[in-house]
A and B are shown apart, each in its own frame.
Chain A
Amino acid sequence: MIGEELVQLLTPEGERVSHPEYESSLTNDQIVSYYRDMVIVRRLCTESTSLQRQGQLALWAPIQGQEAAQIGAGRALQPMDFTFPTYREHGIAWCRGVPPADMLRLFRATSNGGWDPQKYRHSVPTVVLGNQALHAVGYAMGVQRDGAEEAVMAFFGDGASSQGDVLESFVWASSYNAPIVLFCQNNQWGISTPMSVQSKIPLYHRAHGFGFPGVRVDGNDLLAVYEVTKRALDNAREGGGPTLVEAYTYRLGAHTTSDDPTRYRIDAEVEVWRHRDPIERVKALLVREGTVKASYFDEVAEEAEGIALQLREDVLAMGKPDPITIFDHVYADEHPLIDEGRREMVELGVAGGGH
């Protein structure tokens, strides 16, 4: 299942292993800090799922199982790098500094985005499958033309990798040698479609056909994801062009709160992946190496609990937007057709106006 080419630096049992090309550069402080990230992000996710089940969110896309892939990648980014997420990149958003409540605005349907992308160097979630890969490559080509020392990262899943948009982005990234990391979290299931149906070859092999390197990394291994992503980002900033990173991971929960994974996959498979839990293996490493006091884990859990309760409070207090604001971000500048639509909406009494 996991081939020899999989980059792994930490086994599911929490033991460090060596790899001929990659070596962990993380300090103990970093590992301790990233463990905290993963625990908090998982807790934010369970709270968000509860909020959806309580009618406070229209939808939620759970992250459980993919914390190492996202925290590993998110922490490898430099502040000026720019990221283009799907609707599941809560871990990346966390690393970029997006306030947790803002991550939920889209899912509460009070915003079309939720935050200022420039402020956090993190685009708003793209729900249209795979579309953000084109945005990201376009942005990367802009970075190239600006001569900026920035890398761009596009996130997508195994399901989106079958989309034309993603494959087109590969073509453009390759043709222009764009400074981009195409980060695919292969969580094995495109909603109910298993990976085996979507691709006859490992996903990272696809990169070779487009003319740039592809790497498969153990997506449940924080250490390996960090190193692989960091090298790909450095390469992009240095003019080395695109890299496809396939983070081989598993979605432990549902695709979104709207589907029931027990209808399309067997418990035994989920059980196998539970033993590869990305958080548990870092915890095992910290315990094994005696990096932290035993009380640390409880402290982190307690902190995560507090952040989750704060999230709940913030979400329940969110105001409703004026429908008229839907016109605000269609174009950067004024546009006669948009102005007309806005005027008609006020005249028809749908919106309150105030513009």
Chain B
Amino acid sequence: MSREVFLLPDVGEGLVEAEIVSWKVAVGDAVVLNQPLVDVETAKATVELPSPFAGTVVELHHAVGDVVEVHQPLVSIETDASAPAPAPAATPAEASPAVEPIEQTREAVLVGYGVGDEGAATRTRRRRGAPAPVAPAPVAREAAPALAPRSTPPVRLYAKQHGIDLAGVRGTGRDGLITRADVEALLVGAPTPAPSRPPVTGPATPTRFVGHDLAPWASGPEVERIPVRGVLRSMAEAMTQSAFSAPHAAVWVRVDATRTMELLASLKERPALAGVRLSPLAIVAMAVCDAARHFPGVNSSFDADQSEVVVRRVVNLGIAADTPRGLIVPNVKGADRLDLVGMARALNALVDTARAGTTAPNDMLGTTITITNVGPFNVDAAVPILPPGTGAIVAVGRVAPAPWVLDGAVVVRQVTELAMSFDHRQVDGALASRVLRHIADYLEDPGPRLIAG
């Protein structure tokens, strides 16, 4: 009985990683030689990996969805004594006339083709959420003989010409490669960059980052790679698509929101509205819908394929929501038909659902115009990127007391800032300015507009 580790091979000529698609065995399962263990997806294909060992599965080193670097442990198997041995030490069973084995050698590879375990020891496995990568278990492979110091022929020649012996030199290049700079440093007597550095200090609490718990600065790995999938992938794709197809421009304005805040305060005391969470966002939402009714051109999208601008006379109001999984943008369908209470309830439900992670895919489709509220983070403004296929997005900053000139005198008012990014293919600066001014006017005196439109 011995414990063998199957390392993820390069199954496609030069691949560096693969994603675990599905496990076909579980810990404790007995497996026979060549029994399918796992499906992995590489950049080239989804392939099934057969077991190189017969025995019992004792550890699956990765979960479905993990991206594993080539030559990192995949599965550990306790082998039967009778099972075929894995690759033994590099003692040739036979020597063909053309190939004479020697002791000291690099693994010969075809151009661009690799079978070796080179670099396996220096790479760290790529798995998000595992702060301290587990050291790979000892693996029975062809014993790696001492190699000539890793460098390139020109650098070797350079070193040789200057009488530098590369044995024992610690390279600073990729995977320990000795570079020309390393040799030059030796020539001027400078030590190669020392690995010792002052101790890392920093907060010890984890933070959230794109839907992940990020290890604290002081205790996390120096370099961490996070797979782009799920909400992060959606965000990345949407923002890239939008940023590189819709020419963005923005307008912004400072607003005296004192009357909005007074109105909210008075409404909160109404018994009929008990249980309804009323926030400035609800009034902003009403204002955005009203602006769309007055200027339908802003509630539009640019259809480049058809060479048409699509103007919609319904508002599906997108709300950028910060959730444990990351940013998602669900929308309130038919928001223009809601009154303030209905709007407040719809927004509350939308945000609650988003934070619970149960937003239905349909709730994220068909957004026509969007609000992003950065006020809760206590900042003044943002210049957002449009969700793809929309004409405008309004950012609302915090509402805070600030000096304001009213009737020629400086007074303290509840002030906020609005910014609006727009797709400049169909929305021009004049329209955008009118729309934003409309929203600002609404917030400065919401009462009559809420009642009479």
Chain A: residues with CB nearer than 8 A to chain B?
46-47, 50, 52-59, 102, 105, 108-116, 254, 257-260, 262-263, 309, 312-314, 316-323, 325-326, 328-329, 347-352, 354
B22 interfacial by beta-carbon distance below 8 Å: no
Instruction: From A109, A114, A309, A313, give the contact of B110 (CB < 8 A).
Output: A109
A55 and B99 in contact, given A309-B84, A317-B92, A349-B148 (Cβ under 8 angstroms)? no
Query: Are A321 and B100 in touch, CB under 8 angstroms?
Result: yes
Q: Which residue of A lies closest to B47 (CB)?
A: A53
A319 touches B114 (CB 8 A): no
**Is there a chain A Cβ closer than 8 Å to B90's Cβ?**
yes
A57-B115, A259-B44, A322-B105 known; A111-B99 Cβ under 8 A: yes
A352-B99 contact given A57-B115, A314-B93, CB 8 Å threshold: no
Q: Are B108 and A109 in contact (CB under 8 A)?
A: yes
* Contact across chains for A54 and B105 when beta carbons are under 8 A apart: no
Evaluate contact between A350 and B109: CB separation under 8 angstroms.
no
Q: Which residues of A contact B234 (CB under 8 A)?
A: none
Contacts of A55 in B (CB 8 A): 7-11, 52, 115
Q: Is the interface of B mostly helix, strand, loop or mixed?
A: loop
Binds A, one of B153-161, B169-177, B421-429, B443-451: B153-161
Closest chain B CB from A308 CB (angstroms):
9
Query: Known interface pairs A50-B34, A105-B99, A313-B84. Does A319 touch B49 (Cβ–Cβ under 8 Å)?
Result: no
Give me the interface of B with A, judged by CB distance under 8 Å: 6-13, 34, 44-52, 84-88, 90-110, 113-115, 142, 148-149, 153, 156-157, 160, 166
Besides A47-B34, A258-B13, A262-B46, 15 other CB < 8 A contacts?
Answer: A50-B34, A105-B99, A109-B114, A254-B45, A260-B46, A317-B92, A319-B91, A319-B92, A320-B142, A321-B102, A322-B101, A323-B105, A325-B98, A349-B156, A349-B166
Known: A105-B99, A349-B156. A320 touches B11 (CB 8 A): no
Given contacts A317-B93, A352-B105, contact A109 B115 (CB under 8 A): yes
A102: chain B residues at CB < 8 Å are 96
Task: Verify B11–A116 contact, CB threshold 8 A.
Answer: no
A56–B50 CB distance below 8 A: no
Q: Given A54-B52, A260-B45, A325-B98, check contact A320 B148 (CB 8 Å).
A: no
Residues of B within 8 A of A259 (CB): 44-45
Contacts of B95 in A (CB 8 A): 319
Within 8 Å CB of A328, what residues of B?
98
* Given A260-B47, A317-B91: A354 touches B102 (CB 8 Å cut-off): yes
Q: Assuming the A-B contacts A322-B105, A350-B148, are A316 and B86 also in contact, with contact meaning beta carbons closer than 8 angstroms in the complex?
A: yes
Chain B residues in 8 Å Cβ range of A257: 11-12, 47
Q: How far is the CB of B143 from chain A (nearest CB, A)?
A: 11
